[in-house]
Amino acid sequence: MRADRLVAVLLLMQSRGRVTAAEIATETEVSVATARRDLEALSAAGIPVYPQPGRGGGWALLGGARTDLSGLKASEARALFLLLGPAAAIAPEAKAALRKLVRALPATFRQEAEAAAGAVVVDPARWGEHRRTRPVLVDLLEDAVVRRRTARLTYSGRDRLVAPYGLVDKDDIWYLIAGTPDGRRTFRVDRITGAEVTDEPAERPAGFDLAAAWDEVVTAMEARRATTTATATLDAHHLPVLRRRFGRHCEVLSHGDRARVALTAPTALDLARQLAGWGDLVTVEGPQDVRDELANLAAQLTTLYGRPR
């Protein structure tokens, strides 16, 4: 869009001080004639952009006029570009926005911000898989969230008018958190069979925090799933690995050379299956049904593979 390009031209002039039409054409990927028209359009709009003829001339902002992101601290700029960098690798719009933001930064921050932008790459595909494509409905629902518009969804065979609050990508499965006449609800996007954004404004609760709302959803879901609890002990140096493996389903009850933990899962068999691979590194104290399931698994494996020599 031309408006985006004019912003890019202005920011480029701010960062370099003086530019030629040829330089602008190269940076914005347009012809030299189009670059000249863009410069003339900025001048006609009242922006103090003036040509400087002769050798070493070009176009410049009169008096060093600026509109930059100088309100950012160095640490804030670095954090911003670390966040945007991975998105720029897969989204052309993000790449264009990143380029404009770099030019808008004060010169003292620019080099570090550019380095941060290329410091992280996100690959959403697991090993052996092709990268999954972003569901088509995500873009439509994202538009509704940004523009604060209601959306009409077909979900589980029912039509619902909702106020979209935000989207969550959990391991390539997308969820929509939205307001409904029955209160806040969470919709799995791949189960939405139809969606239409309306022109009706969507009200969002004051102070709504998407991350906090999603944490509530996850906590409630995990509470429904985690109906069996086992206590176990293990050497303390194995504890960090166990905690990463079980996540929020591992509660440390006591520390020391041998740590004591509470582990949760939907059933005793689920817990046994997750713990069987730890062998004698983890000792399950109880309940007895989890210990029995571990013994059953051990017997099955011995029958299948024989006793070790």
**pLDDT tens, position by position, 182-233:** 899 999 998 999 999 999 999 888 888 888 888 888 888 877 777 889 999 9
284 φψ region: left (φ > 0), alpha (ψ -120 to 50), beta (else): beta
> From CA 15, how far away is CA 111, in angstroms rounded?
12
What is the domain class of 226-305 according to CATH? alpha beta
The fold of the 136-206 domain, in CATH, is SH3 type barrels. (2.30.30)
**What's the pTM?**
0.53
* Whole-number Cα distances in Å, 75 to 72, 82, 103, 116, 122: 8, 11, 17, 11, 21
Q: Structural domain boundaries of the chain?
A: 2-64, 74-117, 136-206, 226-305
Question: Which is nearest to 190 in space by CA: 214, 174, 168, 169?
Answer: 174
Helix (H, G, I), strand (E, B) or coil at 134: coil
Q: Which amino acid is at 63?
A: G
Mean pLDDT confidence for 74-102 = 64
Q: Write down the architecture of domain 2-64 according to CATH.
A: Orthogonal Bundle (1.10)
pLDDT at 1: 45
